[in-house]
Amino acid sequence: MKRAGSTGALRLDNDAARQIARFSVAAKGLHPRICPLCGYQGAFSAFGQPPRYDARCGGCSSLERHRLFALWMDREDPFGPTHRVLHFAPEVQVSARIRAAVGTYDTADLSGRRPVTHRINIEDTGLPDAAYDRIICSHVLEHVDDARALAEMFRMLAPGGIAILMTPIVEGWAKTYENPAITLPSERLVHFGQSDHVRVYGRDFRDRIRAAGFSLTEFTAVEPDVLTYGLWRGETLFIATRPAISNAEAPAIPTQTGD
């Protein structure tokens, strides 16, 4: 048993050494990319746990999700000079571009790690109804009570307003994986991929958005954008729209009867 254990440990060390050697080269970039945020062209570095190759821009440090957001902005032109915007957990890589395009740009976070307009909990903000035309919430919902957070965003949006949502998602899973018994950071890292995540979403993430009252469209990373801009294959930006007139507010349609 001791000999078998020693052999296994040696094989593990050798395998790890080969992978580390490969990673040390690939981590500096596999293919030249273009950043739609800062215009940088060249190598992107690996980033994340586990590492994702060509993830981080060598110019502005943007990640795949930031560049996908920038492409959506460029192609859909979703922000205007009269728009009131609330950005949860604002990312410096995209904040300046959004701020320049809108009338009001508010930021929000619960932690004290960054300066924000509102130090609030996304599940219960205390902000007024219909106060914003656009709400941005990227990689937040996997940390919180998402039903409460989605309901709160719906409440704060003006009719016709949109919430731009991004989150890690496993499209091969029909249902989201959650386990309230997993509470230790070390356990959450193993189960959910990060020590402060509380779930891993499956395809039913869309059902959760619609259950809050939103209609839904999507903007997904596909080729040739993936290769050109260093995007994560299949990553999706979810555009959740609060209806311009809710079912409760919509006027009744008279029933037609024969003469």
Domains of the chain: 39-169+203-241 (3.40.50.150)
- Kindly give, in sequence order, each residue whose CB lies less than 8 Å from that of residue 250, ignoring residues fewer than 6 positions away: none
Tell me, what DSSP letter sits at residue 143?
A: G
The number of beta carbons lying within 10 Å of the beta carbon of residue 188 is 18
**Gap between the Cα atoms of 219 and 27, Å rounded:** 28
Q: Which pLDDT score is estimated for 5?
A: 67
- pTM, two decimals, is 0.87
Surface-to-core class of residue 37, CB atoms within 10 Å of its CB (0-12 exposed, 13-18 middle, 19+ buried): buried
Run of H or E residues at 34: strand 33-34
Q: Which pLDDT score is estimated for 4?
A: 58
**Gap between the Cα atoms of 82 and 107, Å rounded:** 17
Digit-by-digit pLDDT tens for the chain (259 residues) are 455 567 888 888 888 888 888 777 788 899 999 999 999 999 999 998 888 999 999 999 999 999 999 999 999 999 999 999 999 999 999 999 999 999 999 999 998 888 999 999 999 999 999 999 999 999 999 999 999 999 999 999 999 999 999 999 999 999 999 999 999 999 999 999 888 899 999 999 999 999 999 999 999 999 999 999 999 999 999 999 999 975 544 334 333 434 3
Q: Which pLDDT score is estimated for 3?
A: 56
Q: Which pLDDT score is estimated for 246?
A: 54
Based on C-alpha coordinates, what's the Rg of the chain? 22
**Gap between the Cα atoms of 9 and 98, Å rounded:** 51
How far lies 215's CA from each of 73, 146, 180, in Å? 19, 17, 29
Judge contact between 11 and 17, C-beta under 8 A.
no
Q: Which pLDDT score is estimated for 253?
A: 37
Tell me, what DSSP letter sits at residue 30?
A: S
- Kindly give, in sequence order, each residue whose CB lies less than 8 Å from that of residue 64, ignoring residues fewer than 6 positions away: 52, 55, 221, 230, 231, 232, 235
Q: Which pLDDT score is estimated for 112?
A: 85
Q: Which pLDDT score is estimated for 254?
A: 39
**Gap between the Cα atoms of 85 and 147, Å rounded:** 21
What distance lies between CA 116 and its chain's CA centroid? 19
**Gap between the Cα atoms of 256 and 182, Å rounded:** 56
